[in-house]
Structure 1
Amino acid sequence: MPPNLSALSPLQILPSPSLFTEQRINLSTKFGERPPNLVAKFFLCKKAPKFITCGLAPSKKRRSQNSEKSEVEELVSVLVRNSSKDKPLISTLNKYVRIIRNEHCFLLFEELGKRDNWLQCLEVFRWMQKQQWYVADNGIYSKLISVMGKKGQTRMAMWLFSEMRNSGCRPDTSVYNALITAHLHSKDKTKALAKAMGYLEKMKGIERCKPNIVTYNILLRAFAQSRDVYQVETLFVDLETNALSADIYTYNGVMDAYGKNGMLVELEAMLLRMRKNQCRPDTITYNLLIDSYGKRQAFDKMEQVFKSLLRSKEKPTLPTFNSMITNYGKARLREKAEWVFRKMIDLGYKPSFITYESLMMAYGYCDCVSRARDIFSEMIDSGMQIQVSTLNTMLDVYCMNGLTGEADLLLQYARTKEVLPDSSTYKLLYKAYTKANMMDLLEMLVKQMEKDDIVPNKKFFLEALGTLGSTQAISTQPSSVVDGSRAPVLSSKE
């Protein structure tokens, strides 16, 4: 049974500044106040030395480690820069074969993964195995499995796991964590979550592979995204039973699940629990609070959390502003959505295409179609690369305001600007034209789909003509569960 949060003041719910600030040490000497992290035992002596050096001398070992790290990073950047279609990466590796070791390859995998070159990761791995200095290592396999998973190559991740075991390496917790993450990147989320839970149970039975807090955080985030509150709560109880200490990622995962399901009372109860455990909120905490309150149209609370974020040590991110613009727009609060956009510019943030899409949709909800079109036109005129999602947003604005003819004209105009539609564009228009009973436009749309080699199947029609889910309907309703008068306020010194 969650506590009665309405009876608590905002400062009782969220952390107070004193929880996260160090106690200052007042050193009343002629030298003035010293920083709190310095040890001042010499002030207790009767005779102080003439010259006192305060502070820690830089560690030679630390300087040496930083130097070695920078050298490794520099070599990796050279390897990536010098590789091209004409000059394969393996040739460059052979050139530097005398100095390349495991740590270079580890960073190289990470860099290639960022560049979407997962095939080159496998080439580098095969090259490594041929070197005399190569020793099979869990860390290398863990990194490779992680890269393959992020690129949706689940089968390749599984092959690497088998390869690791065949090489004589014994899997540990980090390897299983990477494997779980790889499965969770697959398209079939239901199957992936079931597979991940199977690995969790398997890990519990292997002494060297016991799940740690990272394991639970990965699973909590995945189930939060799927809105499975029951499984999130079960995992949270399970990690506490196994004597694991929750961290900020743990609390964020649980609160995200509550927020996505509109369970603001439970969210605030978890927030109170986080405060009691002296866990400091981060930007993700602020963002999920802002988004959760915004979706339930508890705007007083959302605005108070935003003000607290501006006063805190954390900084807003683009998702902070995008969420507020979107939720104000759905509530038809155009002026407030515009205020958020101006505030973002004043704070020095550069809008992304998602920000522009959020503002366009806000205008669409507020019947300001011309303003949305102005933004779209300005984006094209500025030379910005237009995403398909931006085109879909403008089409959606037209369709929600009953302007299907203008939507068709925009589709033709977009082609002249080399903004090509995809299946999501056609689904949106198919649904809108069918709803408006515009059979002539529908017939033209199907012909255009054939030209673009987009074949409508059963799944296409189900998604195009399917009704809105109950979760979407709930997310736009005002909160009737939580008192909207006050929000938990985060202190500016947190």
Structure 2
Amino acid sequence: MPSIVSSSPSSLQLYSSSTLSPTFTLPSSRFYKPTRLHLPPRPSTTVVSCVSTRPRRKPGPKPDKSEVEELVRVLMKNFGGERPLISTLNKYVKVIRTEHCFRLFEELGKTDKWLQCLEVFRWMQKQRWYIADNGVYSKLISVMGKKGQTRMAMWLFSEMRNSGCRPDTSVYNALITAHLHSRDKSKALIKALGYFDKMKGMERCKPNIVTYNILLRAFAQAQNVNQANALFKELNESIVSPDIFTFNGVMDAYGKNGMIKEMESVLSRMKSNQCKPDIITFNVLIDSYGRRQEFDKMEQVFKSLLRSKEKPTLPTFNSMITNYGKARLKEKAENVFKKMTDMGYAPNFITYESLIMMYGFCDCISRAREIFDEMMASKKEMKVSTLNAMLEVYCMNGLPMEADLLLERARKNRPFPGSSTYKLLYKAYTKADQKELLEKLLKLMDSDGILPNKRFFLEALGAFGSSPASQESAGSTTGLTRPRNSAKT
């Protein structure tokens, strides 16, 4: 690595890769060595035991990844039709195993069908091959947590213990993460610390690096610098060593909160731990400096990236285009896009959304619409967030009637608007005092089956932060998270 940005807030210096360790030593080979126990011979006694008369099934070969994905794809397609979920599972009962159910949990969780996850789980429990396993409960607790179903996650934890499974570190990590997804963040952090302290007293549940990474990122997101530093200190004094995910997660959390000095302090800590930066590190720094419009530092980090062994990714360029656009630096944003294509990178839908928003900020509405129409005509991948980006361009430039016409067109074609689309327009029409458009919007929502509740109106009016289009791209610029298609009502 030729260089990396310094943590000094007053100046930006380059560091040689000679300060970084070129190799890593795996903790497993360093700290843990298998030992063989020599037990004394047992006394000769008569032992009465119960033996099952059912012939034991020989475990067959585990299905490969492609086979699992193909079957899950077929199952998900059937779930969407008229056939009930359970009858679909029964149809494929001879081939479905734990691996398929794990993947089903993930896919159902992505589409907000967490109740169907529980149906699959209940179906699993009735199969002859099912054995109560921590991994199954850990996966389900994780899915429930991501969907904000903290009570369901707690119920699964209780169910796991009742089934005879003893919790381990992975289960507690999933439980902590589930609590951190709840709305009351201060209460969630207290709960998380409570589980963390409890884990320290249980041999099977000692905190590992994943535990520390979860908590460090959470406290950095909450801007609790003292608690984050205390966890870092505790981590340094333990046998667990921080890894690249530790530093990237904390730097990203600080960066998104605009806490540049704290982010640079973690970068300095990272270098002192002989941890080599990767592309995520560079993307975090580029995005964080760009958000604060510290473009000199952002550009210097980008140059350092180009001289390193790492290669830029699409999130690298998408972030720079977005942040230049917000600063109305159209030429610089266009130069980044040109450099990206010259280097052989093919833009994705987030790149096009970044360009649409950039031209919107720079009052080039016609150019933004050209890009949107080109995407429609070329059948490129489009998400609800792409539609939202174009609608927000119209709204931010005082063109609510054009936004209304585009909404009508989208309802007849693709991409079909989601609840995030209606939140965006409700907020914009309210701000512009467009009562007729508001009434029309509510009627369209009713016909599309989107029922607004109290949370919808609070989010639409900005009580929970930024607009839906900006929320879509908030986590996609660094590559740490996956963009969502639409927000829940």
In the TM superposition, residue 368 of structure 1 has moved relative to its aligned partner by: 0.5
What code does the residue aligned with 2:402 have? E
Task: Identify the match of residue 10 of structure 1 among 7, 14, 29.
Answer: 14
User: What number of residue pairs does the alignment pair up?
Assistant: 414
CA distance in 1, matches of 2:11, 2:406: 53
Once the two structures are superposed, the pairs formed by residues 132-147 of structure 1 within 5 Å of their partners are 135-147=131-143
Task: Identify the match of residue 352 of structure 1 among 341, 348, 351.
Answer: 348
In the TM superposition, residue 441 of structure 1 has moved relative to its aligned partner by: 3.3
CA distance in 2, matches of 1:188, 1:413: 39
Kindly provide the CA deviation profile for residues 158-212 of structure 1, in whole angstroms up to 9, marking residues without a partner as x: 3332232123222121211122223334566555444323322322333332222
Kindly provide the CA deviation profile for residues 127-167 of structure 1, in whole angstroms up to 9, marking residues without a partner as x: 66566776544344334433444455544433332232123
Task: Identify the match of residue 180 of structure 1 among 134, 154, 176.
Answer: 176
In the TM superposition, residue 213 of structure 1 has moved relative to its aligned partner by: 1.6
**107-116 or 389-398: bigger deviation:** 107-116
In the TM superposition, residue 16 of structure 1 has moved relative to its aligned partner by: 1.5
Task: Identify the match of residue 244 of structure 1 among 224, 240, 244.
Answer: 240
Once the two structures are superposed, the pairs formed by residues 392-403 of structure 1 within 5 Å of their partners are 392-403=388-399
Kindly provide the CA deviation profile for residues 87-129 of structure 1, in whole angstroms up to 9, marking residues without a partner as x: 8344544x35xxx9xxx62x33332234327677656655665
- Name 1:309's counterpart in structure 2: 305
TM value normalised by structure 1: 0.72
CA distance in 2, matches of 1:417, 1:205: 58
Task: Identify the match of residue 110 of structure 1 among 96, 102, 115.
Answer: 102
Matched, 1:169 2:165: yes
Task: Identify the match of residue 373 of structure 1 among 369, 390, 398.
Answer: 369
In the TM superposition, residue 360 of structure 1 has moved relative to its aligned partner by: 0.7
Unaligned runs of 5+ in 1: 24-67, 471-494
In the TM superposition, residue 18 of structure 1 has moved relative to its aligned partner by: 6.1
Matched, 1:200 2:196: yes
Once the two structures are superposed, the pairs formed by residues 73-472 of structure 1 within 5 Å of their partners are 73=65, 76=68, 80=72, 88-93=88-93, 95=94, 105=98, 107-116=99-108, 135-150=131-146, 154-186=150-182, 189=185, 191-242=187-238, 244-384=240-380, 386-454=382-450, 457-466=453-462
Kindly provide the CA deviation profile for residues 370-401 of structure 1, in whole angstroms up to 9, marking residues without a partner as x: 10011111111122354322222112111222
In the TM superposition, residue 295 of structure 1 has moved relative to its aligned partner by: 0.8
CA distance in 2, matches of 1:465, 1:157: 31
What code does the residue aligned with 2:17 have? S
**In 2 relative to 1, CA 152–455 (structure 1 residues): closer, same or farther, beyond 3 Å?**
closer
In the TM superposition, residue 336 of structure 1 has moved relative to its aligned partner by: 1.4
CA distance in 1, matches of 2:321, 2:119: 45
TM value normalised by structure 2: 0.72
CA contact (8 A) 1:363 1:369 kept: yes
**In 2 relative to 1, CA 265–137 (structure 1 residues): closer, same or farther, beyond 3 Å?**
same
CA distance in 1, matches of 2:417, 2:117: 32
Kindly provide the CA deviation profile for residues 314-337 of structure 1, in whole angstroms up to 9, marking residues without a partner as x: 333322222111100011111111
**In 2 relative to 1, CA 336–152 (structure 1 residues): closer, same or farther, beyond 3 Å?**
same
How many percent identity over aligned positions?
Answer: 67
CA distance in 1, matches of 2:70, 2:373: 41
**267-276 or 416-425: bigger deviation:** 416-425
Pairwise CA RMSD of aligned residues? 3.6
The higher radius of gyration belongs to 1
Kindly provide the CA deviation profile for residues 39-62 of structure 1, in whole angstroms up to 9, marking residues without a partner as x: xxxxxxxxxxxxxxxxxxxxxxxx
**In 2 relative to 1, CA 371–123 (structure 1 residues): closer, same or farther, beyond 3 Å?**
same
In the TM superposition, residue 462 of structure 1 has moved relative to its aligned partner by: 3.8
Unaligned runs of 5+ in 2: 1-5, 25-59, 467-489
